[in-house]
């Protein structure tokens, strides 16, 4: 067996308890040391960019929300920014503040989600349960504001779809207070726990030089000490006025090492930063319209006439999201829609991070960039060895056909013509 | 004692031990859940788990060494249940007893781990192979401090002339704490602490669940086991949990409370047995449940280094104190 | 980094290059203009241009987007020049068009290793080739995936859809 050679292969994925979404790693392992890794993505590839070519822009907006459940604010915000730029739509000031509030709420829930997952990867389930318990608070608030725990359907071209009502403001304030009071405990539980430190310190190191040349983004780059944050560097919405500063481990009084511990430091401190941003926006937000196109048919008609191309960018919880869109007059569908999610940029940084680490470190290193496969992969179906790209209509038809088959199979009396 | 009587007693201990192991597992899971602010499974969940596993299909992988793969769960169960026969149960002496049974118990406790490792190697999965390698490294790491702790205590007793040498029955009958000098008390306390640290490692519980490490190697050793074979390993684990906790109680706290309560006869024995079970529970709760709730999983090299250097050093220090105590007290 | 610096760097690398500045007004209380540069560049000019951008300051590639224009394939390289300068990043988009008969471009992985994923994705989806790319293995699609999904005239993509319709007819 494998013992005859020193180096043998361990497959992790596409389905594995360490992975929350499908991806395949093939590790070449010597004893407990990783000597090399081969990464294959695409298991959650649904051909979303391809699907958009058959949809009008409003439908595409909803499609963008379904790229990923966690980034269901980041992608819509980015595509609206790109389309607004291409079509020349102005966004009312209040809507810009609201977008910031919503995206910072998303950041809090995403970072807490990550913290729980990271704890689970370390085998520290207590911390997982506690973190996810406190995460409920921000999800409740998102539900209060949008009606949903995920897939909020908030941004729309030219503004947002829901306002924060005066009676909801105390609830937002209560959430901010709740997390402020909890932050010390969270930092204590993650950063001062000896067993967590033993598992994360000097594990999965990404040097600043590697982070820079591999174009890493988001907390992955910031943990290596690079002060890069789209909100800080490339202003959009009202982030330029809010004075956002990229958070690195230096803000916690540590010299950045780029290991998993540093990534936890950055993400937890960003929760505090998001709380400040939400509070500022809540008080500075001017009164006024929340969208420049209150009527959807008017918006669609305007977009159909629009011509041009545009870029939208946003700092999602995991890093830089960028969308490119090209519109042509008279065509409802986008001609090109390119989505770039943070994990796409961070994919390459896994290779140096895994080098010479132990098998035991695989889950936490894989989790440390907070990978989002469904964001990165965007249908391909393989059946009977024949791969095929499936359009939505096809899927719908297939699904209906299957429902039919199942019903026929289940019902004791075969269905005839009109009635059951 | 007639042979029939012996068989009857042994059956009681084996069945009782197995049931008790599952009940304690239920408590362990429920209490851990409460500490993690979860509701947790009902107390009878381990029974349901075993019941369900027993009716499930047992799959032997194509690449596995079939006979070895199937034999190992039985070996693990036999070894861990045999330990139960060698342990005194509060007021009742052990079913099987002889001089040197303390050493025998040490070996028997290692057998399930070896069986799991062999089963892992035989299952032909790379994940199980990694798990098996880790199990062997773990075994080599914690065996020495474990042996030092157990042997230290029984040796000190032997030097004081208490009963047959290296016998668990003798130590249960004559608690050492009051017989040794102050140095000895410190030495015993150190050895007790070491044994408590070894307990979760012996039982492969967090932070030492490295051979099974769910998020890393998807259950490792156990990844290919299913149905009856998995149920057997589950039972072996339940019995081993009881055995390990009972060993700690027997070595360091073999006291009864019947005398204090002024009870004697059958009532006293019943109270003492109950007290013994409570002590086992307390040891399990302290050394397994709370520890696994409060810590992250360690890495194999961290565990190996920790046991070989720090824990071994501490255990040897405890032993040295006992030796010094022998020189002083005699 | 300012837009002028970037423009100068590009102009020195590719003489005669026309760089269009599309300022992007941002903000509510204090309006600022975030510079966006767009340039159409011949494929020979790509590597010198990227080298010049890199020499001018920290460079980040966001992504490469692309489309089938009918006659050729248009690739858009989206960069952020001056990456990590607070309020001072300049978005640079270089547009390169290659003919379908000769869809070959130079790889910029040598200058910017982080662009490998983006280039490999374009190989899978648009059927272009990059000279000097470290690996051409697929990232997202299966290795034996026929055709290139983003090509409008790709017979393989049409075939796939048809095959599925047939498959459904047989199994439905």
Tokens 């075993």: give the residue. B50
- State the Cα–Cα distance between residues A30 and A416, nearest whole angstrom: 64
Phi, psi of C91 (to 5 degrees): -85, 125
* Interhelix angle B126-159/B182-202, nearest 10 degrees: 160
- State the Cα–Cα distance between residues B258 and A82, nearest whole angstrom: 80
For residue range A299-315, what is the model confidence (pLDDT) as tens digits? 888 888 888 888 999 98
Average pLDDT of every residue of chain B: 82
Q: Is the pLDDT of residue A382 over 50?
A: no
Residues spanned by the domain of C76? 3-171
Which parts of chain C register pLDDT below 70?
A: 161-165, 167-172
B206 and A123: CB-CB below 8 Å?
yes
Q: Is the pLDDT of residue A58 over 50?
A: yes
For residue range C68-105, what is the model confidence (pLDDT) as tens digits? 888 888 899 998 888 877 877 888 898 999 988 888 88
Q: Are the C-beta atoms of A375 and A71 separated by less than 8 Å?
A: yes
Start-end of H helices in C14-140:
43-56, 116-126
Q: Are the C-beta atoms of B188 and B153 separated by less than 8 Å?
A: yes
Residue A354 DSSP label:
H
For residue range A196-216, what is the model confidence (pLDDT) as tens digits? 888 888 888 888 888 888 888
- CATH node for A53-335: 1.10.645.10
pLDDT bucket at A384, cuts 50 / 70 / 90: very low
Select the more confidently predicted residue: B2 or B251.
Answer: B251
Interface of C with A in 103-162 (CB under 8 A): 112-118, 138-142, 144-146, 149-150, 157, 160-161
For range B146-167, the mean pLDDT: 76
β-strands A159-160, A380-383: how paired? unpaired
Q: Is the pLDDT of residue A391 over 60?
A: no
Tell me how crowded residue B214 is: count the other CB atoms within 10 A of its CB: 19
A29-33, A73-77, A144-148, B315-319: range with lowest mean pLDDT:
A29-33
- The answer to whether residue C23 neighbours chain A at the CB level (below 8 Å) is no
Q: Are the C-beta atoms of C9 and C94 separated by less than 8 Å?
A: no
Residues spanned by the domain of B98? 3-329
Interface of A with C in 309-328 (CB under 8 A): 311, 313, 320, 322, 324, 326
Question: In chain B, how many domains are there?
Answer: 1
In this complex, the residue of C66, C82, C142 whose CB is nearest that of residue A387 is: C142
Give the list of residues 6+ apart from residue A246 with CB closer than 8 angstroms, or none. Answer: A222, A227, A228, A229, A232, A233, C84, C86
Rounded to the nearest angstrom, the minimum Cα separation between C151 and chain A is 10
Q: Are the C-beta atoms of C6 and C53 separated by less than 8 Å?
A: yes
A93 and C114: CB-CB below 8 Å?
no
**pLDDT value at residue A386:** 38
Q: Is the pLDDT of residue A380 over 50?
A: no
Select the more confidently predicted residue: B164 or A347.
Answer: A347
For residue range B121-130, what is the model confidence (pLDDT) as tens digits? 888 887 888 8
β-strands C104-106, C24-26: how paired? unpaired
Q: Report the share of chain A in percent with pLDDT over 70.
A: 87
Domain coordinates in residue numbering, chain A: 53-335, 390-420
Closest CA to B86 of B270, B239, B225: B239
- The answer to whether residue B313 neighbours chain A at the CB level (below 8 Å) is no
CATH number, domain containing residue C78:
3.30.460.80
For residue range A358-377, what is the model confidence (pLDDT) as tens digits? 777 777 777 777 777 666 66
Closest CA to A215 of C87, C134, C85, C113: C113
**pLDDT value at residue A376:** 65
Q: Report the share of chain A in percent with pLDDT over 90.
A: 8
Select the more confidently predicted residue: A6 or A114.
Answer: A114
pLDDT bucket at A278, cuts 50 / 70 / 90: very high
- The answer to whether residue A356 neighbours chain B at the CB level (below 8 Å) is no
**pLDDT value at residue A78:** 92
Chain length of chain C: 172
**pLDDT value at residue A359:** 77
* CB pairs < 8 Å spanning A and C: 157
User: How many angstroms separate the Cα of A293 from the Cα of each of A299, A300, A326?
Assistant: 6, 10, 21
Select the more confidently predicted residue: B73 or A49.
Answer: B73
Tell me how crowded residue B207 is: count the other CB atoms within 10 A of its CB: 24
In this complex, the residue of C87, C116, C139 whose CB is nearest that of residue A235 is: C87
pLDDT bucket at A416, cuts 50 / 70 / 90: very low
Q: Strand pairing partners for C90?
A: C81
In the three-class reduction of DSSP (H, G, I as helix; E, B as strand; rest coil), residue B18 is classed as helix
Tell me how crowded residue A15 is: count the other CB atoms within 10 A of its CB: 12
- The answer to whether residue B214 neighbours chain A at the CB level (below 8 Å) is yes
Contacts of A41 in chain C (CB under 8 A): 139-140
Select the more confidently predicted residue: A387 or B308.
Answer: B308
Question: In chain C, how many domains are there?
Answer: 1
Burial class (CB in 10 A: 0-12, 13-18, 19+), C40: middle
Q: Give CB contacts under 8 A, 24+ apart, made by C95-101.
A: C95/C38, C95/C39, C95/C40, C95/C41, C96/C41, C96/C42, C96/C43, C96/C46, C97/C40, C97/C69, C97/C72, C97/C73, C98/C43, C98/C72, C98/C73, C98/C128, C99/C71, C99/C72, C99/C73, C100/C71, C100/C72, C100/C73
- The answer to whether residue A33 neighbours chain B at the CB level (below 8 Å) is no
Tell me how crowded residue A23 is: count the other CB atoms within 10 A of its CB: 25
Give the list of residues 6+ apart from residue A370 with CB closer than 8 angstroms, or none. Answer: A110, A114, A218, A219, A220, A267, A317, A318, A343
Say if the ipTM goes beyond 0.90.
no
Burial class (CB in 10 A: 0-12, 13-18, 19+), C154: middle
Residue A215 zone, left/alpha/beta (φ > 0; ψ -120 to 50; rest): left
DSSP B150-212: HHHHHHHHHHTT-SSTT-HHHHHHS-STTTS-HHHHHHHHHHHHHHHHHHHHHTT-TTS-TTT
Rounded to the nearest angstrom, the minimum Cα separation between A298 and chain C is 24
For range B271-286, the mean pLDDT: 86
Q: Is the pLDDT of residue A388 over 70?
A: no
In the three-class reduction of DSSP (H, G, I as helix; E, B as strand; rest coil), residue C61 is classed as strand
Could you check whether the bond before residue A205 is cis, i.e. omega within 30 degrees of 0?
no
pLDDT bucket at A274, cuts 50 / 70 / 90: very high
For residue range B177-196, what is the model confidence (pLDDT) as tens digits? 777 777 778 888 888 888 88
A18-27, B159-168, C79-88: range with lowest mean pLDDT:
B159-168
- The answer to whether residue A192 neighbours chain B at the CB level (below 8 Å) is no
Tokens of B160: 């004081």
Radius of gyration of chain C (CA): 19
Q: Report the share of chain B in percent with pLDDT over 70.
A: 93
For range B202-224, the mean pLDDT: 76
- pTM for this structure? 0.79
Residue A169 zone, left/alpha/beta (φ > 0; ψ -120 to 50; rest): alpha
**pLDDT value at residue B119:** 87
**pLDDT value at residue B315:** 86
**pLDDT value at residue A385:** 34
- The answer to whether residue B297 neighbours chain A at the CB level (below 8 Å) is yes
């Amino acid at each position: 067996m494998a013992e005859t050679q020193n180096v043998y292969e361990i497959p992790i994925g596409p389905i594995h308890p360490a992975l929350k979404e499908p991806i395949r790693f093939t590790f070449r392992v010597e004893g407990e040391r990783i000597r090399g890794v081969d990464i294959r993505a695409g298991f959650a590839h649904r051909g979303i960019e391809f699907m958009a070519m058959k949809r009008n822009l409003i439908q595409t907006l909803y499609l963008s929300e379904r790229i990923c459940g966690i980034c269901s604010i980041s992608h819509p915000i980015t595509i609206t920014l790109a389309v607004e730029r291409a079509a020349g739509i102005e966004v009312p000031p209040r809507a810009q503040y609201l977008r910031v509030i919503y995206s910072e709420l998303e950041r809090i829930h995403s970072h807490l989600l990550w913290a729980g997952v990271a704890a689970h990867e370390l085998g520290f389930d207590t911390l997982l349960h506690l973190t996810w318990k406190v995460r409920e608070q921000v999800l409740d608030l998102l539900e209060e504001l949008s009606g949903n725990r995920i897939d909020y359907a908030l941004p729309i071209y030219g503004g947002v779809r829901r306002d924060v009502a005066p009676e909801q403001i105390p609830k937002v304030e209560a959430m901010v207070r709740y997390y402020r009071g909890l932050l010390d405990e969270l930092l204590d539980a993650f950063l001062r726990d000896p067993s967590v430190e033993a598992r994360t310190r000097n594990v999965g190191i990404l040097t600043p030089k590697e982070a820079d040349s591999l174009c890493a983004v988001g907390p992955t780059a910031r943990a290596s000490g690079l002060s890069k944050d789209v909100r800080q560097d490339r202003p959009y919405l009202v982030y330029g006025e809010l004075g956002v500063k990229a958070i690195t481990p230096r803000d916690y009084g540590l010299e950045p090492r780029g290991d998993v511990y540093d990534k936890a430091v950055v993400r937890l401190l960003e929760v505090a930063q998001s709380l400040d941003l939400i509070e500022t926006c809540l008080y500075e937000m001017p009164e006024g319209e929340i969208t420049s196109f209150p009527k959807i048919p008017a918006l669609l008609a305007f977009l159909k006439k629009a011509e041009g191309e545009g870029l939208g960018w946003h700092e999602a919880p995991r890093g830089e999201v960028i969308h490119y869109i090209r519109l042509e007059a008279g065509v409802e569908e986008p001609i090109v829609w390119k989505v770039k999610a943070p994990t796409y940029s961070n994919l390459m940084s896994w290779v140096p991070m895994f080098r010479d680490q132990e098998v035991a470190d695989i889950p936490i290193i894989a989790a440390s960039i907070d990978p989002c496969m469904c964001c990165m992969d965007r249908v391909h179906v393989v059946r009977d060895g024949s791969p095929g790209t499936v359009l939505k209509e096809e899927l719908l038809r297939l699904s209906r056909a299957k429902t039919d088959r199942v019903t026929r199979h289940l019902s004791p009396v075969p269905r005839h013509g009109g009635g059951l | 004692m007639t042979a029939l009587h012996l068989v009857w007693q042994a059956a009681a201990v084996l069945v009782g031990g197995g049931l008790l192991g599952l009940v304690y597992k239920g408590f362990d899971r429920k209490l851990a859940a409460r500490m993690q602010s979860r509701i947790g499974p009902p107390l009878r969940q381990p029974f349901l788990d075993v019941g369900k596993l027993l009716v499930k299909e047992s799959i032997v992988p194509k690449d596995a060494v079939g006979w070895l793969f199937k034999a190992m769960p039985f070996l693990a169960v036999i070894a861990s249940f045999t330990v139960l026969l060698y342990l005194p149960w509060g007021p009742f002496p052990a079913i099987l007893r002889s001089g040197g049974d303390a050493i025998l118990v040490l070996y028997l406790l290692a057998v399930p781990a070896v069986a799991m490792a062999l089963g892992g190697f035989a299952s032909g999965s790379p994940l199980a192979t990694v798990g098996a390698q880790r199990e062997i490294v773990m075994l080599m790491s914690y065996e020495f401090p474990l042996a030092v702790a157990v042997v230290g205590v029984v040796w000190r007793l032997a030097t004081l002339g208490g009963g047959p040498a290296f016998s668990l029955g003798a130590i249960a009958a004559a608690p050492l704490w009051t017989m040794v000098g102050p140095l000895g008390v410190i030495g015993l306390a150190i050895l007790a602490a070491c044994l408590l640290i070894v307990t979760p490692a012996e039982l492969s519980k967090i932070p030492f669940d490295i051979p099974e490490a769910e998020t890393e190697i998807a259950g490792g050793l156990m990844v290919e086991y299913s149905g009856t074979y998995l149920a057997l390993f589950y039972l072996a684990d339940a019995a081993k949990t009881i055995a390990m906790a009972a060993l700690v109680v027997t070595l360091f706290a073999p006291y009864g409370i019947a005398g204090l309560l002024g009870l004697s006869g059958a009532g006293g024995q019943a109270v003492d047995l109950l007290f013994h079970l409570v002590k086992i529970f307390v040891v399990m709760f302290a050394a397994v449940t709370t520890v696994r709730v409060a810590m992250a999983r360690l890495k194999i090299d961290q565990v190996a280094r920790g046991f070989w250097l720090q824990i071994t050093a501490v255990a040897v220090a405890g032993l040295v104190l006992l030796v010094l105590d022998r020189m002083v007290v005699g | 980094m300012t837009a002028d610096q970037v423009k100068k760097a590009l102009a020195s690398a590719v003489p005669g290059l026309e760089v269009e500045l599309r300022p992007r007004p941002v903000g509510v209380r204090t309006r600022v203009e975030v510079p966006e540069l767009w340039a159409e560049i011949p494929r020979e000019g790509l590597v010198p241009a990227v080298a010049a951008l890199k020499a001018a300051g920290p460079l980040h590639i966001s992504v490469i987007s692309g489309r089938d224009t009918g006659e050729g394939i248009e690739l858009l390289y989206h960069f952020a020049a001056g990456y990590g300068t607070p309020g001072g990043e300049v978005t640079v988009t270089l547009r390169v068009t290659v003919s379908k008969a000769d869809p070959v471009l130079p790889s910029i992985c040598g200058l910017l290793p982080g662009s490998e994923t983006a280039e490999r994705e374009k190989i899978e989806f648009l059927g272009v080739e990059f000279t000097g790319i470290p690996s051409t293995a697929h990232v997202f699609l299966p290795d034996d995936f026929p055709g290139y999904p983003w090509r409008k005239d790709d017979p393989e993509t049409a075939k796939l859809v048809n095959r599925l319709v047939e498959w459904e007819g047989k199994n439905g």
